[in-house]
Amino acid sequence: ELKVEQNPLFLSMQEGKNYTIYCNYSTTSDRLYWYRQDPGKSLESLFVLLSNGAVKQEGRLMASLDTKARLSTLHITAAVHDLSATYFCAVDNYGGSQGNLIFGKGTKLSVKP
């Protein structure tokens, strides 16, 4: 059974600081997604990581995937208040014929001045 663990679950940061969110998963997969969710809103796709060593960057966020370690990281550089949201990683359980996402519990990020 595929399980996905994120840590930390809560993160309070000061503006300007750097931090990393970790996403570990339990079985072999090389398809991992990062989403952002604002309160009361839907999920916004941030990154799609499709191979070992994949690295994607958008603004102050950078995501990477190490399939051998079954680990993805979301690195935040020089945080700003607008990054406050909940971030989810999800592993694509696409084996077989169906495909579906297995989500971590999410990391609630709060960036304070």
Partner 1 sequence: NAGVTQTPKFRVLKTGQSMTLLCAQDMNHEYMYWYRQDPGMGLRLIHYSVGEGTTAKGEVPDGYNVSRLKKQNFLLGLESAAPSQTSVYFCASSWRPGTVYGYTFGSGTRLTVV
- Residues 32 and 21 sit within 8 Å (Cβ to Cβ): no
Question: Could you tell me the smallest distance in angstroms from the CB atom of residue 48 to partner 1?
Answer: 5
Question: C-beta of 17: minimal distance to partner 1 in Å?
Answer: 25
Is residue 91 packed enough to be buried (19+ CB in 10 Å), middle (13-18) or exposed (0-12)? buried
Strand runs labelled E in 15-84: 19-25, 32-37, 43-49, 55-58, 61-66, 71-76
Smallest separation (angstroms) from partner 1 to the CB of 97 = 6
Instruction: Output 13 or 104, the one with its CB closest to partner 1.
Output: 104
Q: Which residues bind partner 1 (CB under 8 A)?
A: 4, 9, 31, 33, 41-43, 45, 48, 50, 88, 90, 92, 94, 97-106
Q: Which of residues 17 and 105 has its CB atom nearest to partner 1 in the complex?
A: 105
